[in-house]
Amino acid sequence: MAKIIQGTDGKKYKKIEPETNRKRTAEIVMGAISLIISVLLIGSGLGMASLADAWGGGGIYTTKFIFGILLAVLAFILCFFINKNRKLIGWVILAIGIYIGGFCGVYGIAGGILFIITGVLALLRK
């Protein structure tokens, strides 16, 4: 935004200030879609994970899936704070997307990819 100010010499100058409150609607919408898909798909996979744990998994599959759901909720909450520290939160959302896509099996791939896109979008938009 440009604001016209008068200098000490009497001339008029344009004072340019950086835009601080950028709207992050795209990141929030992508985060919401990612959350819904992650919770639905990973939640539907919890039945298979508990069955695998019952046959000798030791509880690790169910733990991964529940941790994936909790991280999906955390990433969605972080989408509202992107204006505070864009780079850090973008990298955290990107890392959460990689975890969900890699460790939650077939059930986490779609949500993980969408969280990766959300993280990259937060990093690229200035």
40 phi/psi in degrees, rounded to 5? -65, -50
Q: What tokens does 60 get?
A: 């690790």
Highest-confidence segment of 11-15, 89-93, 121-125: 89-93
Position 33, amino acid: I
81-102 in b/e form (b: 16+ CB < 10 A) is ebeeebeebbebbbebbebbbe
Q: What is the dihedral of CA 27, 28, 30, 34, to 10 degrees?
A: 130
Question: In this structure, are residues 90 and 50 in contact, taking their beta carbons and an 8 Å threshold?
Answer: no
**Count of C-beta atoms within a 10 Å radius of residue 41:** 21
**Distance between CA atoms of 26 and 41, rounded to whole angstroms?**
22
Question: In this structure, are residues 102 and 112 in contact, taking their beta carbons and an 8 Å threshold?
Answer: yes
Half-sphere exposure for 89 (CA within 13 Å, toward CB): 21
The per-residue pLDDT for range 44-99, each reduced to its tens digit, is 988 888 888 888 888 888 899 999 999 999 999 998 888 888 899 999 999 999 99
If you average pLDDT over residues 100-108, what whole number do you get? 90
